[in-house]
Structure 1
Amino acid sequence: MTKLLKSLLLITAAFSIIEPSIALASEKLEDVPTRYIEANGIKFSYRTLGPTSGTPLVFLQHFTGTMDAWDPAVVNTLAKTRPVVVFNNRGVGATNGVVADNIGQMTTDAYAFIQALGYKQVDLLGFSMGGFIAQELAAQHPKLVHKVILAGTTYQGGGNNLMQVLGEAFSRANAPDPRDYLFFSQTDAGKKAGAEFLSRVYARTKDRDPESGKEIADAHGKALIMWTSTPDHYKTLKAIHQPVLVVTGSNDTMLNTEGSITMYKQLENAQLVLYPDSNHGSIFQYHDAFVNTTNYFLDH
């Protein structure tokens, strides 16, 4: 089956009317308890949702993001049919240690965390900077990583507009949260989706992760800029032989949409979904379609 045909099938599945699944667990991201496990000298904080059987889907988070920055509309719906794991990497949220300032260390720590949970095989969902870690894990550990979703991300050396868009986001007067600008287009539909997203991510009121401060932002910024500014001539992409779903918005201003298209072309077994009128957080704006696409991709 050609890449183009696979992508068309995924888009058809995403926008078709699908009867919702019955949740196999009553817990939701908004109230599921935080757990801890030690690995690689770090006490990782994490949360698990969904059934206890099946291939776990491990979420890898964006620049400065904690577990509470994930969209419950994505996490909870995916957890209806598969085990889902969200966690904080070294030095972030309720995880201790000095925050890593390079993707290599983040990858090593993520691998240690997954190993500590005893999983023999996992699927990965890497969003933004988390997509860098997902690529490294898939390339380095082909027996562990089954399938990969790369959302709103790019390849090593693919470039970034991090400082520019952060400056624009924080320069706005009376802006309650920069993500309404960073993640969403500034059309009426985009602004509406941004407001709805923010109401969902702030739904958890107890046992929330502490917000990321300057130390985390500086370390993550260094890691993101160095990784996207240091080409490896597609070496990492060429080492990934697992099926990959690449998802992005029509106008990702932080990690350019063109980077996702390049990944799709360079990966051996990739499928591509582009969402209209959308920015860096297209998977949150089109959460229902994204979940349907992801379930189809992981199940087939």
Structure 2
Amino acid sequence: MNNKAVLSTDSKEGQMSADIAKADLRSGKEGVTLQTAPTLYVDGGGIQFAWRRLGPKNGIPLVLLQHFSGNIDAWDPPVVNALADERPVIVFDNAGVGRSTGQTPDSVEAMARDAITFMTSLGLHQVDLLGFSLGGCVAQQIASVRGDLVRKLILVGTAPQGGEQHLMAVLQAAFADTNAPDPRLPLFFTSSANSQSAGLAFLQRARERTEDRDVESGSAVNGSQAKALISWCAVVDPAHTILRSIDHPTLVVSGSTDTMLPVDNAYTMYKAMKNAQLILYPDSGHGVMFQYPEIFVRNALSFLNA
């Protein structure tokens, strides 16, 4: 593997700290982007997690939790890079995804446990979380069971437990669209000319990294993740137990016409959570932050820095 750096928690604590410092120097702010940052590895709970680090060495890290079927290189580079201009940003593959070892769980609860293992294996004591789609479900679960680990939450294009989802129907429609150059175009963007143009630009940006690219998800990952998301939304909980247990400052973000996890989910989260703000973007679908990367980053940083 190119640019491979290994960080193992099997080493002594002092050596682990030294290795993290070395990783920080290699992945610091100057000149390092999502497209160029080395892929690092850390062992935790019997899993070797693949991850990258961008941004300054000091500050509360912003940990990104990825969408269904996505890996590290499925993030939009200008979003990640601009966030890293002001704070440490960590992107990673959860268990079984991309270059991380282990088996992909089929429940949000297990995915949250693995993500917590990853963060604690890096020695992180407090983080901000940005969870997109399935990653937003995982972020809610983490904040509910390990509130001490989380400072603030950004939940993008996601759903609460018991929320509305149309995953399989939307996936089937997207893959049946023979006119689309990539299924992400109908999955993430609306049919308007402006949204489609933004989608094509996103697809081009997402292919910019050509060396040491992450491994695409296969049927094993997709099947487990689909079951996890569908099961999460199938739980009937009119009391919104998880949402009401989260008192962290939270920014809820949604596209106006998200067909996969509809905008009503965002309203539900905003109303049920104790300390939430809500932003809706016009003429946008599931990939709202990829359609409006500059505006999204401004909103996200304003929230995180407040």
Contact 1:190 1:277 in 2 (8 A): yes
Q: Which runs of 5+ in 1 are unaligned?
A: 1-22
The corresponding residue for 1:257 is 263
Cα contact 2:49–2:93 (8 A) shared by 1? yes
Which is bigger in relative contact order (C-alpha 8 A, separation at least 6)? Answer: 1
Partner of 1:98: 103
Equivalent of residue 228 in structure 1, options 217, 230, 233: 233
Alignment match, 2:182: 177
Which residues of 2 match residues 113-128 of structure 1 at below 5 A? Answer: 113-128=118-133
Distance in 2 separating the partners of 1:109 and 1:92: 12
Work out the CA distance in 2 between the residues paired with 1:64 and 1:24.
28
Deviation string 1:62-102 (CA, Å, 9 cap, x unpaired) is 00100000000100000000000000001000001111111
Higher mean alpha-carbon deviation, 230-239 vs 250-259, is at 230-239
In angstroms, what is the RMSD of aligned CA positions? 1.0
Aligned match of 2:250: 244
Q: 1:31 to 1:252 in 2, by over 3 A?
A: same
Q: What letter matches 1:101 in structure 2?
A: D
Q: CA deviation at 1:262?
A: 0.7
**SS of the residue aligned with 1:47?**
strand
What is the CA-CA distance between 1:177 and the residue it aligns to?
A: 1.2
Distance, in Å, in 2 between the alignment partners of 1:132 and 1:189 is: 29
- Counterpart for residue 16 of structure 2: none
CA contact (8 A) 2:97 2:104 kept: yes
For the Cα contact (< 8 Å) 1:247–1:272, is it kept in 2? yes
Residue equivalent to 1:16 = none
**Separation in 1, partners of 2:249, 2:236:** 23
2: CA distance between counterparts of 1:171 and 1:142? 41
The equivalent of 2:11 in structure 1 is none
Distance 1:174 1:205 in 2: 26
| Deviation per residue, 1:184-235 (Å, 9 max, x gap) | 1110001000000000111000111111111111111110100011123300
- Find out whether 1:53 has 2:58 as its counterpart: yes
CA distance in 2, matches of 1:98, 1:137: 19
8 Å CA contact 2:29, 2:57 repeated in 1: no
Q: Is the 8 A contact 1:103 1:224 kept in 2?
A: yes
Aligned AA (2:265): G
Alpha-carbon separation, structure 2, partners of 1:151 and 1:25 = 28
Q: Once the 2 structures are TM-superposed, how far is the Cα of residue 25 of structure 1 from its aligned partner?
A: 2.4
Which of 168, 172, 193 lines up with 2:173 in the alignment? 168
With normalisation by structure 1, the TM-score equals: 0.91
Q: Does 1:155 align with 2:160?
A: yes
Deviations 1:136-172 (A, max 9, x none): 1111111110000000001001021001110110001
Rounded Cα–Cα distance in structure 2 between residues aligned with 1:249 and 1:87? 24
Q: Cα deviation per residue 1:103-122 (whole Å; 9 max; x = unaligned)? A: 11100000000001111100
**C-alpha distance in 2, partners of 1:175/1:258?**
27
- The DSSP-based 3-state class of the residue aligned with 2:243 is helix
Aligned to 1:204: 209
Amino acid at match of 2:207: Y
CA contact (8 A) 1:25 1:80 kept: no
Helix, strand or coil: the match of 1:280? coil
Q: CA deviation at 1:268?
A: 0.2
Aligned residue number for residue 299 of structure 1: 305
Match of 1:107? 112
Query: Does the Cα contact within 8 Å between 2:95 and 2:104 map onto a contact in 1?
Result: yes
Q: TM-score, normalised by structure 2?
A: 0.89
Runs of 4+ aligned residues of structure 1 deviating over 4 Å after TM superposition are: none
Does the CA contact (< 8 Å) of 1:190 and 1:285 recur in 2?
yes
Per-residue deviation, 1:174: 4.2
Distance 1:50 1:123 in 2: 14
Give 1:71's aligned residue: 76
Percent identical: 50
Matched AA of 2:184: R
What is the DSSP-based 3-state SS (H/G/I as helix, E as strand, rest coil) of the residue aligned with 2:251?
A: strand
Q: Is residue 278 of structure 1 aligned with residue 284 of structure 2?
A: yes
Amino acid paired to 2:188: F
SS at match of 2:63: strand
1:268 aligns with 2:268: no
Aligned to 1:143, the other structure's residue is in SS state helix
Alignment-derived partner of residue 28 in structure 1: 33
Is the 8 Å Cα contact of residues 25 and 49 (structure 1) preserved in structure 2?
A: no
